[in-house]
Amino acid sequence: MALSPKLAVKKKAALVLLLVSLMAPCILKIQPSKADPLTIIVPDDYATIAAAIGNAIDGDTIFVKTGIYEEETLEISKTLFIIGQDVENTVVNLHPPLVTSTIFTQTFTSYANPINIKADDVKLSGLTINSEGGEISATGNRTQITGNILNTGVHLRGSYQNVSKNNLTAGVTCSVGVYGNVYKNNVVNSSIGCDSGSYNRFFANNVLGGGISSGGTSSNNLIYGNTIKNGAGIWACYGDVVAKNTVIDSEMGVSVDWGFNNIICGNIIANNRGAGLTKLEGSNNTFYANYVVNNSVGVEIGVYSSLEPLNTTFYHNDFVKNIQQTKVIGLDHSDYWDNGEEGNYWSNYTGSDANHDGLGDSPYVIFGERHMYDYPYTTYVESYEDLYPLMTPFNCSSITIKLPEWATSQLPNLFTSPDITPPTISIISIENMSYPIGNLSLTFTVSEPTSWIGYSLDGQENITVAGNAVFSGLFMGSHYLTVYANDTAGNTGISETICFRIETPLPTTLVVAVAILACVFGFGLIVNLLTSKKKKQ
């Protein structure tokens, strides 16, 4: 039996509505999901780094794609991980404003800080940072600035902060806090050091055209395993350990100007224009097992104001072919040129060793000047003695240095190997492209044997792997991936950061398109039927 026109219209409308209700879940299901809230991509999500920081929350990661970013300043008051995709091609040019300050009656104009890190646990990595002036100021604790190219200075004012594996053309200064670590950086035409605080560690840095200093009110700092060329040398202050460094072709070697209780040992000091070792003021300093060769002056002692016993000791040092082996100027003082059993090796010593015990039979005489500051001023020539001069050079490289506990705390495997070259990691797949939903295979190579391998996805904690890995169940949107590896010497290699996307696969897109067309056709059919009905009426 034929349906009436009215029933036919209702039936067709019901069928169309049923079709729409069946397809609606499909349409909703394939709506693209938002990126993980822990990851913000610049410039995909925000055009500038400053905007990304402003919209981030504690714990977020900001991934900066390759490009040149012009920013004014970056104010970081949240716990963030800011990482560049490629350090050489992710360039941040900062343009801080000029600020005016008045001291007494003098007015000064200078640049504001281009970056202020005020929060704890901030990480800054993989960026080239340029600034017209100012410095990166970090007042939060546990700041990590690693793997960057920095053309502006860094000032650390917190505790447990790390500046590592950067290329620096401006200095790094530690102040106020404790356990600041500055290591494995390449520093050009600038210096690193501290003016206050304690237990700071400067190690395995290559410094060209600069120096390393511990000064001001700082104390108990470690300067270890650094190389300085064509620079200014090393200064120690209070309770410092200066060990296993190489200073060559510089203004001077290692100096203690006003310090106390310092240990200077195991250093190679060669071809410097000034003194290899210098001690001007202070007491209870020990210089031992230093190789001092071809400097203008081997060792310089000067005492200008102190009348107290100074008790500085020199022993097991090799003073070889310095133009002037010793230079002693100052008031009468009680420095020691041996440890009571053995002294130093002097390449110009001419004494004999009749009993073949390796010690000279006569002292090595050190001439100096004593100034009497009465009127008229009088200068006397005095002599000091190394009572047990060595007949052959001491093997300075053979010594084992027992560092204090604070010097090695939380720093395993840093002083056991001269190898400071990180492994090279090459990612074969995944690539910088889009992938459909499904399993992704990560394959990579490492240039040398490893003690650990891991990866970080979207800035989260490292996941340890034995080798290649497979990812499944990744959400749709942007992701970035970095592979890390430690070699057997403890050096960490970092791969290029890969940025990829997970997108809806093509078959699903076609199904959705058909569903949408069906819905449009169905609604059109309803409208057409209703219109036809009205016309018939």
pLDDT in tens, 78-104: 999 999 988 999 999 999 999 998 888
Across 375-404, average pLDDT: 84
What pTM, to 2 d.p., does this model score?
0.75
What contacts 531, CB < 8 A, 6 or more positions away?
Answer: none
Containing H/E element for 515? helix 506-536
Among 49-63, 320-334, 439-453, which stretch is predicted with the lowest mean pLDDT? 320-334
Across 290-303, average pLDDT: 93
DSSP string, 117-139: E-SSS-EEES-EEEESS-EEEE-
Question: What are the backbone dihedrals phi and psi of residue 21, each rounded to the nearest 5 degrees, phi first?
Answer: -65, -35
Query: Would the pLDDT of 397 be above 50?
Result: yes
The whole-number pLDDT of residue 381 equals 66
- Is residue 464 a contact partner of residue 486, using CB atoms and an 8 Å limit? no
CA 382 vs. chain centroid, Å, equals 49
CA 108 vs. chain centroid, Å, equals 32
Q: Which tokens is 304 given?
A: 């200008």
Report which of 255, 175, 181 is spatially closest to residue 211, judged by C-alpha positions: 255
The whole-number pLDDT of residue 199 equals 96
Tell me the one-letter amino acid at 369: E
- Is residue 138 a contact partner of residue 122, using CB atoms and an 8 Å limit? yes
Question: What are the backbone dihedrals phi and psi of residue 515, each rounded to the nearest 5 degrees, phi first?
Answer: -60, -45
pLDDT in tens, 350-379: 999 999 999 999 999 998 766 555 555 556
The better pLDDT of the pair 296, 508 is held by 296
First to last CA, the chain: 23
pLDDT confidence band for 387 (50 / 70 / 90):
very high
The whole-number pLDDT of residue 62 equals 94
The whole-number pLDDT of residue 5 equals 54
pLDDT in tens, 414-440: 544 446 678 889 898 999 999 998 889
pLDDT in tens, 149-194: 999 999 999 999 999 999 999 999 999 899 999 999 999 999 999 9
The whole-number pLDDT of residue 519 equals 55
DSSP string, 246-263: EEESSS-SEEEEEEES-E
Chain mean pLDDT for the chain? 85
Query: Would the pLDDT of 27 be above 50?
Result: no
Among 197-201, 210-214, 364-368, 503-507, which stretch is predicted with the lowest mean pLDDT? 503-507
Report which of 131, 173, 144, 142 is spatially closest to residue 156, judged by C-alpha positions: 173
Query: Would the pLDDT of 76 be above 70?
Result: yes
Tell me how far apart the alpha carbons of residues 173 and 191 are, in angstroms, rounded to a whole number: 8
DSSP string, 61-88: EEEE-SEEEEES-EEE-S--EEEES-TT
Across 506-531, average pLDDT: 53
Tell me how far apart the alpha carbons of residues 344 and 199 are, in angstroms, rounded to a whole number: 30
Query: Would the pLDDT of 412 be above 50?
Result: no
Containing H/E element for 514? helix 506-536
Among 77-81, 259-263, 489-493, which stretch is predicted with the lowest mean pLDDT? 489-493
